[in-house]
Structure 1
């Protein structure tokens, strides 16, 4: 299976199948995808995605973004629009002064501030609830949900962080998935990218992941710290803040793991 799909005009579009969980299971292929916007896809790309099982698209962009660059309308694919922005509150209102001091000590970049907002703001939390509802309704085998923003970097990165953690995927794999954005915006071809994502290529992969400044491990750690500060651990955060019940998590894993 290929993580980076061989598309003509896809943007940061990749499969989430194959990642290993803490209990030794793996994310099913042809069930989850992430990407940048779908406005430049070719007819051949549409066919590739159809064969890969794409049936639902969740667009996390603001309405203005969707007007400027609308997604390609694809036969047999149902689209959901749920904008992560605008936020309801400023970050201090969402996390409190004590927690924001902890975040600042961790080195809070502009991207990190936005990530912390996406994990704590009431409007964004409502979007994640709706996203998980879509995932829980995706019950048929070999039918995939794709979620995306404009570049498939920040809003999509936070969504993937939430979903993969909910599935119990191992931390190194979740971090690698986040950092893969740096590879997909490099000059490497899909076949070259996939060649780095095989066992035995760890050193070469790490070197390539850190060449581009698109995303950083420090900002990933801000997401983890935000979750810990708000709830202590991820599953408590998912239940108490996002509102996803343990039974829904169990069902999600039944649908997306093997």
Structure 2
């Protein structure tokens, strides 16, 4: 992708949209938001339905049938484990990233995502994609998308890790609240891992890709069913 950049006003990576104000919706309407791709589970969707402009096409494409990233809430079993094991949050995230790569349901979801990306070919239309926190299911969606465009891996990693800068204030507030509630240090560490992104999570996904297909281009072709023509069309739509 030497010398090229992604076009402005074509794609937005986001967290959940259930708390948008009327002013936010007016902004997205003026911005040209045409597609809203929702990667959340059915339960997450029902808890906080998206608020979007009337003309925006809503596409519900759950990556998991339940929230494996545990960003919406933690199961009782995981919470009990987190009280005593500071690695439990990290282990949960690593399992989720493995599933993103190897679960056929997840693969089909990301293929549908690419179908919408290819449909977003009008010069004045914008696509937004999100999950609950906008960091794992959405973060890997961005990794797949940027890889298909031919973006170098250092830039892809930097984009993936950008989440931590954006979410730091909220995570700091969460940690303060947990300390006030006398949460264990193990629990707090696990919550930090659940509510952030780490290069080890990214590497877990890349290791799985290498195991199943050798490298990212092969994975995009073999498991997400992207053809050479699809790749060319994506680059035409999103690069300048």
Alignment TM-score, normalising by the size of structure 2 = 0.76
SS at match of 2:109: helix
Cα shift at 1:183: 1.1
Corresponding residue for residue 163 of structure 2: 181
C-alpha contact 1:29 1:142 (8 A) present in aligned 2: no
Determine which structure has greater relative contact order: mean sequence separation of CA pairs < 8 Å that are 6+ residues apart, divided by chain length. Answer: 2
Aligned pairs for 1:1-258 (under 5 A) are 21=1, 23-86=2-65, 109-187=91-169, 214-258=196-240
What CA distance in whole angstroms lies between the structure 1 residues aligned with 2:52 and 2:10?
A: 20
| Structure with higher helix content | 2
What CA distance in whole angstroms lies between the structure 2 residues aligned with 1:148 and 1:138?
A: 16
What CA distance in whole angstroms lies between the structure 2 residues aligned with 1:76 and 1:86?
A: 27
What CA distance in whole angstroms lies between the structure 1 residues aligned with 2:52 and 2:163?
A: 24
What CA distance in whole angstroms lies between the structure 1 residues aligned with 2:155 and 2:24?
A: 27
Cα shift at 1:73: 3.5
Cα shift at 1:146: 0.6
C-alpha contact 2:42 2:65 (8 A) present in aligned 1: no
C-alpha contact 2:26 2:53 (8 A) present in aligned 1: no
SS at match of 2:12: strand
Cα shift at 1:48: 2.0
What CA distance in whole angstroms lies between the structure 1 residues aligned with 2:234 and 2:40?
A: 24
| Structure 2 residues not aligned, in runs of 5+ | 67-89, 171-191
Alignment root-mean-square deviation, CA: 1.7
Cα shift at 1:177: 1.3
What CA distance in whole angstroms lies between the structure 1 residues aligned with 2:150 and 2:32?
A: 23
What CA distance in whole angstroms lies between the structure 1 residues aligned with 2:127 and 2:156?
A: 18
C-alpha contact 2:28 2:53 (8 A) present in aligned 1: no
Alignment TM-score, normalising by the size of structure 1 = 0.71
C-alpha contact 1:109 1:219 (8 A) present in aligned 2: no
Cα shift at 1:143: 1.2
SS at match of 2:133: coil
SS at match of 2:13: strand
What CA distance in whole angstroms lies between the structure 2 residues aligned with 1:142 and 1:221?
A: 35
